[in-house]
Structure 1
């Protein structure tokens, strides 16, 4: 599956949707209400902390009600986005993969479904997606990960991960809070609530909203599996032709052989196999075949 572009709730168009100022403003107001409730409670001892909790639980309640009415994964994503906005964050990411980490140490990038992201955010994402330090940290720690903590420990990251952070920051997609999702025997996934670039009050607000975000994330993931079988499978990240070329390559066929079998030119076959390497973040064709077999994407029997 190609990483899904986000769209306005209630519309049929996906590509190129950029959230209107109204939705960003709504999230900002929620963020500041939750942040300021916490500040007021700390400063004066008044019951404003309960107000923040009430706002958070309202977001969870709207998620539950909205999901029950959703008829597709796209509609469910719109409901999730609405709940995340109520929680105070203007953007959300949902990703999952059947295997997150191969025995070789290679990370398997998860296809993403997003809402509230800028137009063409994924233009160069294929080059970075296997090096996402936020998803990796959440997976390794098995707990929610505040992006600012990862950024403050950038000296522990490899160059590709640092480059990934720069790419994300350049898009204005910062800060964020990633909740890991583990379904034994099914998949590893995550849901990330992303801010609007402002760091003032972020850590405190993220700490307060974190438990509710985790509850929303786990409820949504379980609902998506129960109702829709989860998000589209990893194999859909490769096109039919790419899968065909890779499968024949795995069976020992040369580029020229594959061209004859599929009635394509040898150059076209090379283009498909090059795209496979890029999508799977493989260093060569053998590496691509090994990763695809581990993921159950191809069958060479």
Structure 2
């Protein structure tokens, strides 16, 4: 079952309202608010509030369809205009949308203009993009999420204007999107709580990573080797069944391994 945005009210404290806190504090405030949330509609409104503050009026959290699969049954949260959503899903635009197709081929978050030309410059992809612009989709940011074994999802943000955002802004949006996606996936496909899997040292490393510290910074803070920290990161990703550190942060907070 997908949850759709159908209200003019935007819930939650926006990043702009929390600017004095710094973007990291605003991000962890968001994570703390939805960590125990059991209503997907509230998660939708909270994420829309935060993404809107950065200029993204639309977003979708969805599974990524394989060839011959339809997109609509995989959509978990949808804050797209209903007319565009209906046209996109009924016409199977995912199959020819270069921005969407690139999400099947990369694990790295990307801006729309970073999609290789071979995916977005063909006639079909151009037609989809031209139609999208008429609905206020001019710029966007996509966060693919993969497990090495069993799932693939994406959070796709869209804006009605070209945005100039810092890497820090996009990093905050990535963590919030990943955390929201994992929270909704947990609600839609409940699973039994698992015992902690990370060691105390792995939690230390991940806690500092969640606060924006590099592996080198963490090695200095904890007094251990740089390669040791990188080894901990690899082990953490394996234990949590994720491929990026942003996913590891979101999943570990959701599981209670570290606190926001």
Aligned mates of 1:135, 1:206 — CA distance in 2: 23
Q: Counting helix residues as a fraction of each chain, which structure ranks higher?
A: 1
The corresponding residue for 2:85 is: 122
Aligned mates of 2:86, 2:187 — CA distance in 1: 31
1:273-292 matches, within 5 Å, as none
How far 1:205 moved relative to its partner? Answer: 0.6
Aligned mates of 2:153, 2:45 — CA distance in 1: 18
1:141 aligns with 2:141: no
Query: Rg bigger for which structure?
Result: 1
Aligned to 2:105, the other structure's residue is in SS state helix
The corresponding residue for 2:176 is: 216
The corresponding residue for 2:58 is: 91
Shift in alpha-carbon separation, 1:156–1:226, aligned structure 2, 3 A: closer
How far 1:206 moved relative to its partner? Answer: 5.4
How far 1:191 moved relative to its partner? Answer: 0.8
Q: What whole-Å deviation, never above 9, does each CA across 1:84-118 have from its counterpart, x for those lacking one?
A: 23444322211114xx444xxx6763643322x33
Please list every run of 5 or more consecutive structure 2 residues that lacks an aligned counterpart in the other structure.
Answer: 191-260
TM-score by length of 2: 0.58
1:201-240 matches, within 5 Å, as 202=163, 204-205=164-165, 207-229=167-189
The corresponding residue for 2:208 is: none
Q: What whole-Å deviation, never above 9, does each CA across 1:137-181 have from its counterpart, x for those lacking one?
A: 13312211211233x836764332222212211111221100101
1:1-301 matches, within 5 Å, as 4-8=3-7, 19=8, 30=16, 54-97=21-64, 100-102=65-67, 109=71, 111-112=74-75, 113-115=77-79, 117-125=80-88, 126-127=90-91, 128-150=93-115, 153=117, 157-195=121-159, 197-199=160-162, 202=163, 204-205=164-165, 207-229=167-189
Please list every run of 5 or more consecutive structure 1 residues that lacks an aligned counterpart in the other structure.
Answer: 9-18, 35-50, 231-301
**Is the Cα–Cα contact under 8 Å of residues 59 and 156 in structure 2 kept in the other structure?**
yes
4+ residue segments displaced more than 6 Å? none
CA RMSD across the alignment: 3.3
Aligned mates of 1:91, 1:59 — CA distance in 2: 20
The size of the alignment, in residue pairs, is 184
Shift in alpha-carbon separation, 1:108–1:184, aligned structure 2, 3 A: farther
Aligned to 1:78, the other structure's residue is in SS state helix
